[in-house]
Amino acid sequence: MHPRLILLFISDSESMAKQKKKENPAPEIKKEQTQPIALTALWYIMLLFFAVIVILQLQKPETDPKTKPVDSVKLTLSSWFDHSYQRDREEQLKKNSTIGRKSIPLKNQIDFNWFHKINVNEFVLGKDDYIFNIPYINAYLGRDFVGEEKINEHLCKTQVVADTLKRKGIDLVVVFAPGKGTYSAEYLPEKYLKYPRTTTNYEVYTQKIKDFNIHFLDFQSWFLEMKKDTKYPLFPQYGHHWSYYGEVLAADSLITYFEQMRGIHLPHLRWKEIDYPAAPKVRDADILGKAKLKTAPEGMMMAYPKFGYAALPDATKVKTLAIADSYYRGFLYLGVMQNVFDNGKYWYYNNKVIPESDTKLLEVWEVDLKKEIEKNEVILILNADATLAEFSSGFIDQAYMLYTDPKQYYEKVAAEKDLFKTKKMIRETPSLLSESVENAQRMTVPVDSAITLKALELLGK
């Protein structure tokens, strides 16, 4: 074909294509034209958002006196690559900046509603939004099992201490409180159920304690027996411990047990009315409160007995010292410690002396162990299944040494005095305590272990 004809053909083809395109515009072309506009708008919105953040961050930060200054988080090559800088910097900005603190509830709400996550250390959401403490899941699965040898050792020492105190007219009682991971196992998160259940501390303790002459009360088995027939919840959905109703039942049952053991009459809890259904209160939603959500869900309704104390004419009180985990706190606010246990003390994890430490910190190492034990009529050791790995929080080991080898005991007390003083100083110093809590989370160890490490560092050991 002649070159000129070729050019005319190409020109005519282009004109026809343009005319056709004008008459029948393709829909995908319109979409391509609008997409960059939307992306551009989104981009400018993001820029504006980050600009606001920068402006707010340039303002003078409202520093929380309980935390380290933001500048204390230093960027180094190692801290960048092990992610400690990013984690610590984020934590400091949350606490020390206005926008950081104000955005936390929103972030927590999004995590809770969209990602089924609760931002409280060592707690997770299970089915139906049941909240669980990870150590209690591990206790149910047997992942914290300490072995039969150690359990036998604890029980043998407990027997020696119990026999020694009995000769002084003092009864020693061991109580096991129920764990939520075991009681509410059907609501555990699926990811934990992939682990097979193995031997648990609770199973071995309850089996072997029968071979010893030790006063023993097992609330875990009792609560599991009541589970299918109970009219009111024995464990809350959003709380960590047994329910308020469960605490009342446990307290009344323990009082009855003490009466039979001592052959006396004690004041009892009595009620005719139960407030039900009622919104969770007291400790029945304590972990949800720590989650700092913008809008808390309503959750399961709970029961609250309206009780008082009643006693027979010959009723008396029994002086009781409790070495216990956090499950015993209810015995304080229910009034059992005051009205039945003759204002006896509560040694929280064999560390803080309560109620004194509720106003001014008093620790167990500061008191005379022998004198404090022997001013009581009953010594109560209470552990939930998740704290059985550290049975009695070291109390039995101390009491055993005190009564079998007092010379060694008092030498040990003298040698550890500086360490305990330093640990107490750390607990009373907000910045050092905050640092220890952060270290514990980073190293995945108990807070007390992190405090001990910090104390040794301060002592140059």
Q: What is the pLDDT of residue 186?
A: 95
pLDDT beneath 70: ranges in the chain: 1-36, 38-39, 43, 46-47, 49-73, 79, 82-84, 86-87, 89-101
**Helix H or strand E encompassing 107:** helix 98-115
- Distance from C-alpha of 274 to C-alpha of 89, rounded to nearest angstrom: 49
Domain ranges of the chain: 123-404, 412-461
Q: What is the pLDDT of residue 63?
A: 47
Q: What is the pLDDT of residue 45?
A: 76
Q: What is the pLDDT of residue 100?
A: 61
Q: What is the pLDDT of residue 445?
A: 81
3-state secondary structure of 38: helix
Q: What is the pLDDT of residue 164?
A: 98
Which two structure tokens, joined as six digits, stand for 247? 């605490």
Q: What is the DSSP letter of 65?
A: T
Q: Whose CA is closest to 116, among 98, 132, 107, 129? A: 129
Q: What is the pLDDT of residue 21?
A: 45
**Helix H or strand E encompassing 174:** strand 171-177
Q: Whose CA is closest to 180, among 237, 247, 232? A: 237
Q: What is the pLDDT of residue 268?
A: 95
